[in-house]
Amino acid sequence: MKKLLLSIGLLLGGVAFVNAQDTTSVQPQPQQSTTTTSQDQQREQVQVSDLPDPVKRAIESQDYQGWTVAAAYKSTMSDSGVQGENATKAGEEIYILDLRNGAETKTVKFDKDGNKLDKEQKDDQKK
């Protein structure tokens, strides 16, 4: 009788431990969030057909062959954060293009004359 009670006790204890484990844990799903810095908050999405001709010619050049425009934005920046010869002046329009080539994406900025601004962000994404 002792063995039977001990076996039942161990069985109930084992069931309690198994049920106490959380098997329905929620796995965090990767979010595709668009982070905008304070300087990019004034951007508005535009159609590729609405881009200035110099910008269109720049993305059709040899440097971007095989890349497609996933999204295009127009922004008036108070400070582009870009230094050097391609720095933009306060209030100048720039165009921010999200380019895609297969699973690879990158963001490129152009001024209204089609000159590439020095900052370029490249993301390798496997989907």
Q: 38-51 pLDDT, tens per residue?
A: 444 577 888 888 88
Structural domain includes residue 13 = no
Sheet of 68-76: strand order equals 43-46, 68-76, 93-101, 104-111, 116-124
Distance CA 114, CA 94 (A): 9
Q: What percent of the chain has pLDDT over 90?
A: 4
Structural domain includes residue 58 = yes
Structural domain includes residue 26 = no
Structural domain includes residue 55 = yes
With a threshold of 0.85, does the pTM exceed it? no
Type of residue at 118: D
CATH number at residue 115: 3.10.450.360
Supply the range of the domain harboring residue 66: 38-124
The C-alpha angle 44, 101, 94, rounded to 5 degrees, equals 30
Write the DSSP string, 21-53.
S---PPPPPPP------GGGTTEEEE-GGGS-H
pLDDT band, very low/low/confident/very high, at 83 (cuts 50, 70, 90): very low
Averaged pLDDT, 19-39: 58
Which pair of structure tokens corresponds to residue 9?
């006790």
What is the model's pLDDT at position 121?
52
Q: Which of 78, 121, 63, 79 is nearest to 96 (CA)?
A: 121
User: How many structural domains comprise the chain?
Assistant: 1
